[in-house]
Structure 1
Amino acid sequence: MRFKKRNPLLGLLRLGVSESFAHICLSDLMTRLEQQYPKLKTSVTVGDTGMISALLNEHQLDIAVISEPGVASHIHRVPIGRNELAWIASSRLKLPSGILTPADLAQNHIIVSPHTARLHTTMTNWFSMGGTAPSRVSTCNSLSVTLSMIRSGFAIGLVPVRLVADELQRGELVAVPVTVPVESHRVFLCYQIVEFGPDLEAIVGLTKELIAHHQLFR
């Protein structure tokens, strides 16, 4: 099937973003787009790697910011950094002292994104490297809700460090020290090749600028 070239800046711009980007950068991006393109309409989808990759592949999104995308050849990928991850827990949770092994952490209630998310694969691989598997895993498709449950002490979660930087600094949350390093995720800005032109190039540049300004990825 052939797709006609369209200019998303002349109508509806369809954005796909990770929750990390949505929490830190999205409002600024929307404000800047409003200033530069006052007649522009936007449709924003917030989701995990599997969901956003599928929508890109099906030509349902114009541009996206996601980790480790699984995209087809008609999508161009621009590397924009790495999303640093850590095991995060409430400071009220009574954990063993010292540096914990995967076997130590496996005894705790774990909460993580669903199987379609790269975070879930990273969690599974991390425990496998330690020769173990967690005994109790709950999943949640909302990172905001996941963080709320971590804050309450309900479970320990593997989440992007940037999202909880302020709470870590205040001591409300703690990064659990572990013996096996947690793999960071490569993050890409992806867009439909057939749509690329000066206008979409401007959006790509603006998105990269805001990511750098907010120090979202390293």
Structure 2
Amino acid sequence: MTDWLYPLLYTLLALGAGVLCLPIALSLHYRRDDLPTTWHLLVQLAFFRGGLGIGFQLAPEGRTLMPVLLGRALPFPVLTLGTEPTTKKKKPKRAKKATPKADKLAAEKKKSAPLDLIRLVLRPALSLLASLPRTFGLKKLRITGRLGFADPAKTGIVNGYLQAVKTLKNKFLSININPDFTRPGAFGQVDLVAHFHLGLLLLFLGRFGLQVVFRFLASRLFGWKLGLI
């Protein structure tokens, strides 16, 4: 009976290691068309370098979920999400009566609590923010379409700037926007693909938590005075 259990366990461990070690592909595709004016937004989150994941499509017609295989959203099976939010009625809470002494202690504690929290978290948070760019990398940004303003002169000026940006050689950035002197508005498509490492992000979050716990114990048990930075 255990002949299939160990291979299944090893497969799950391999998949978990792949999710943590291999980069996760995050892609965003936005398209805005004219005549009639419609828009579509597709967000894909795929593991194993974009091999397998899930996509979320948002459009005026509704919201749908779909599987992603090898970086492309499959047309089936598709799950349509509801748009009507459910609201629950909240019962009013009765206020408790407090003594003047308790109110004074609560006010003093409320004044010191934000500063203590800032001293506890600020330095680890700055270290975490400095490490976050190492977990994220831009792979592709492509912008195609047409751009026009009500003033043709303004359209020409903006088009000059866009042509200057277009001459810059960059393997990650591709801009192809044509001027539209007859119809004001922005129409076209934006494609963004980025990779981020989940395992490295969890490692940095764990380091942040350990630093906060260490500073908390040092201030409470040993009486260390924590600085802001």
TM value normalised by structure 1:
0.22
Which structure has more relative contact order (CA 8 Å, sep 6+)? It is: 1
TM value normalised by structure 2:
0.21
Report which of the two has the higher share of strand.
2
